[in-house]
Structures are given as C-alpha cells and as structure tokens.
C-alpha cells in the first residue's frame, strides 16, 4: 500500500472518529438537557468546550433550542465546582444579578461604581435576595450588562461568585470567572429578555446557602424565637 493511500486512510479514520465524537457528545448533551442529570462532568465540559459549534448546529438542524447547549454547560460547571464553592466563606462571595430582573416601575438608578442601587421597594424578588445576602454576610451587585459584571469581579475580587443571567451570558460569565480563578455557581433565567425576566428565586437562595446551611438554619430559628417572644409579650401586655 502506498504512502498516499495510508495518509488517505488515516484522514478518513480521523474524520470518522471526529464525527462519531460529535454525535456522541451531542447525544449526551441532549439527554442531560432533557433529564437535567449530569454525568462525567469534567469530560463533558472538555468536549463541549471543543465541540460547541457543531453541537449547536446539530441542535439547530433538529429544531431544538440552541440555548439548551449553554444551559447544559452551566449545569456541568455547577456540578464541577459546587463542593469547592461551598467552602468559600460568605464574605468572599459575590452575587451578580442582571438589571432585567427588576420591575418595570423600579425606582432604582445606576451608580457607575456600584451598579444598580436597590431601594428595597419590594416590587420584585431582588429585595428578598439582598436581605438574605445581608443575613448570610454575602455581597450583591445588580449589573446592567456583562462588561459591568466583569468590572465588578475585578473590583471586589471575590473567591466565589453566583451569577444569574440568560444561558448564553451566564456561560460566558462562568468562563470569565474561571479565567480569573474565581469559583463559579450559576442560576440561569427561566425567561430571558431585556425586561420582565424570570428566575427561580428559591434556587438562587439555595445556591447562596451552599456550605452555610447551619448558619441559615440558626438564623431561621432565631427569627422564629423572636416572633414567638413578641407574640407572648403581646399576650402578657394584653
């Protein structure tokens, strides 16, 4: 067999392997998106980083939502870094929320150094997140965009970050956090857009409490004891 034939066979073999790898990875990504179960996260993350474009093209061809690929990647990143994030002390954590979660009648304004300064009007769920963060000792910033979010990472230099955004932006944000050696956790929006977006606020709180469950429980017990004392005190006064 000539050298030309050997080279041709090698090229065909490599192309065949690449196609099989793309099909295999796309199938795994689809199953993880469909059933929300993550397997072999480190391997899948490496494959997704390499095969992102062809995987999305296959999703597009079969009329599937290409944002599902970004969503799966964020879930994989969460799985990989969850235990490490849980060890980050609350004062070294930064929670980044997008301004699109605000109510359309939000009275807050943008501060060029701090982002959107929440007035805790209660028109949206951000007020509860800020209050929860204050109880836990975490920092919250509300940003108008991805560039501002990166600036906040550089400014506050957290050890861990919780990012809330649409799947595509949150994937880019997680990649940026890893680049700056910041441990990421993410909560994708349930409904994307420029205004009136939606997120699972309970999921945000769950991630905020990772590794701090005992502290959160102690705060809840203290809160219940305070309420009980106030009620009993009211009865005695009556």
Confidence check: pLDDT of 213 > 80: no
pLDDT attached to residue 76: 94
Mean pLDDT of the chain: 88
81's CB contacts (< 8 A; 6+ apart) are: 183, 184, 185
pLDDT per residue as tens digits for the range 117-144: 999 999 999 999 999 999 999 999 999 9
- The answer to pTM > 0.85 is no
pLDDT per residue as tens digits for the range 7-49: 888 888 899 999 999 999 999 999 999 998 898 999 999 999 9
Q: Which whole number is the average pLDDT over 205-209?
A: 96
Angstrom distance (rounded) from CA 56 to CA 29? 10
pLDDT attached to residue 142: 95
Angstrom distance (rounded) from CA 116 to CA 9? 59
């Amino acid at each position: 067999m000539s050298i030309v034939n050997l080279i041709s066979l090698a090229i065909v073999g490599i192309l065949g392997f690449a196609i099989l790898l793309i099909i295999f990875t796309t199938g795994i990504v689809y199953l993880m998106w469909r059933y929300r179960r993550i397997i072999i996260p480190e391997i899948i993350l490496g494959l997704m980083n390499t095969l992102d474009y062809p995987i999305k093209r296959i999703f597009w061809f079969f009329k599937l939502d290409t944002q599902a690929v970004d969503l799966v990647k964020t879930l994989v990143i969460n799985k990989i870094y969850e235990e490490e994030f849980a060890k980050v002390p609350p004062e070294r954590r930064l929670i980044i929320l997008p301004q699109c979660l605000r109510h359309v009648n939000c009275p807050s304004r943008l501060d060029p150094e701090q982002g959107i300064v929440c007035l805790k009007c209660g028109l949206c769920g951000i007020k509860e997140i800020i209050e929860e963060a204050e109880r836990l000792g975490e920092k919250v910033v509300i940003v108008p965009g991805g560039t501002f979010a990166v600036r906040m990472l550089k400014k506050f230099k957290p050890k861990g970050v919780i990012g809330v955004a649409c799947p595509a932006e949150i994937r880019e944000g997680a990649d940026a956090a890893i680049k700056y050696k910041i441990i990421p956790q993410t909560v994708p929006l349930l409904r994307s857009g420029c205004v009136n977006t939606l997120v699972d606020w309970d999921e945000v709180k769950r991630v905020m409490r990772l590794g701090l469950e005992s502290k959160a429980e102690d705060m809840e017990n203290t809160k219940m004891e305070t309420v009980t004392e106030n009620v009993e005190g009211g009865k005695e006064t009556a």
